[in-house]
Amino acid sequence: MHHPPTFLSLPPELRLKIYSYLLTSYTPPSPNHLNTRASLRPKYPRFAIPYTSILRVNKQVHNEASRVLYGDNEFAVWISIMGEWVSSTQIENGEKGRVVVGYSSPWDSHGLRVCFEKDFNEKYSYRQSSEMMSLKYYPNGYFDPSIPELKNPNQWIHPLPERYARCIRKLRIEIFEERITPSWDIAYVPIKKLMSPYNPQFLLLPIFNRLFKILGDDRQNIEVEAILYAALSSDPNLFSGGRWDEQDGFEEAVKIQTTYEEYKGLIRTIWPLTRGGWKWRIRMPEILVGMFGDEMVGRVMEECDEIGRGEMGEKEVGVGGECMWVMVGGRRVVVLRTVRCKCGK
């Protein structure tokens, strides 16, 4: 008796082709939402595949199809960075700038609120909603490198299981930078003055660490493209504090001439996203590349690497006196013999 071929009797390469047709979808880059009032509370599109029912056929099909779903699609992660503006008078009185970072991905969403106050006390507080978990903290001169877990996670946050996250191979990170644009009713304050209390290259460390943990150990095979959007005028010669225009929005109301230091600050902000051991590429706004050159990105990244090694790892220093090598945490480090002797008493 002749039996029609079953799906699993097909050659593996043909099954993979079928999975590709059913489970891959092109995710276009987000429109520059900074030209609309809704940009202040952006709603990002969710990753959607219409034919996921094939994942429920049986275990073998599920395992094969999952590798295609997570390995062949480009997943988009959205990061919004906003400054809560303070006046020049407030800054002169010692009040510091405030930064609000929003992070959204197909598998979870988190908000991060960073404030700088006079006393630099470190505190944590949470605000939960169906769209975002917000974290507010006051760093004592540094950024906490992790996003603390919610004490009572709400039902809308579903972390991606490790077995699927480790299949991801393509990631597009879209960063919507709003620190260099004025609010519609508050005078413009340059980023270098507003954000002076901290080094911006450590701002996104909590998000980097979260992605680093999710994506597993095979990160050298992951491709990451980071795209930065900013609400800048197409005319770099114009500068205006501006107010919000209900008709024209930011496109006509905001015309800012970005400085060299501000551009470096934007590049430094992206630096943590290059630290994962994955293949990375950065795309800055064309207007800024035209003003300052594309090669500047590489130079600033090298500077950040030097600073990062000093503040986050080891740093070469001159040591005087008699020394010896010891094993600490699986690594060889040099210590003074006098210190070693005192510890042994």
- For 111-158, the pLDDT digits (tens) are 444 443 333 333 333 333 333 333 333 333 334 444 445 444 444 445
b/e code 71-97 from CB counts within 10 Å (16+ = b) = ebbbbbbbbbbbbebbeeeeeeeeebb
Q: How many CB atoms lie within 10 A of CB 107?
A: 17
Q: Is residue 15 part of a domain?
A: no
pLDDT of 202? 76
Q: Is residue 249 part of a domain?
A: yes
Task: Calculate helix-pair angle for 296-312, 260-270, nearest 10 degrees.
Answer: 60
Residue 59: pLDDT over 70: yes
Rounded to whole angstroms, the Cα distance separating 207 from 204 reads 5
Kindly state the average pLDDT of the residues 215-241: 70
Number of domains the chain contains = 1
pLDDT of 282? 92
The tens digit of pLDDT for each residue in 236-259 reads 444 433 333 444 444 443 444 566
Rounded to whole angstroms, the Cα distance separating 223 from 282 reads 11
Is 323 in a helix, a strand, or coil?
strand
Rounded to whole angstroms, the Cα distance separating 168 from 283 reads 21
Kindly state the average pLDDT of the residues 288-314: 76
Task: Show the domain range for 241.
Answer: 74-313
Q: Is residue 221 part of a domain?
A: yes
Band (225; pLDDT cuts 50, 70, 90): very high
Q: Is residue 11 part of a domain?
A: no
Joined together, the tokens standing for residue 294 give 């594309």
Q: Is residue 122 part of a domain?
A: yes
AA identity, residue 301: M
Task: Calculate helix-pair angle for 12-23, 59-72, nearest 10 degrees.
Answer: 60
Mean pLDDT of the chain: 65
Cβ atoms of residues 165 and 214 within 8 Å: yes
Band (185; pLDDT cuts 50, 70, 90): very low
Cβ atoms of residues 229 and 34 within 8 Å: yes
Q: Is residue 32 part of a domain?
A: no
From residue 193, how far is each of 98, 198, 281 by CA, in Å?
A: 12, 11, 29
Percent helix, strand, coil in the chain, to 5, is 35, 20, 45
Task: Using alpha carbons, select from 227, 222, 189 the residue that is nearest to residue 98.
Answer: 189
Q: Is residue 174 part of a domain?
A: yes
pLDDT of 281? 92
* pLDDT: which is higher, 308 or 34: 308
Q: Is residue 260 part of a domain?
A: yes
Rounded to whole angstroms, the Cα distance separating 180 from 291 reads 16
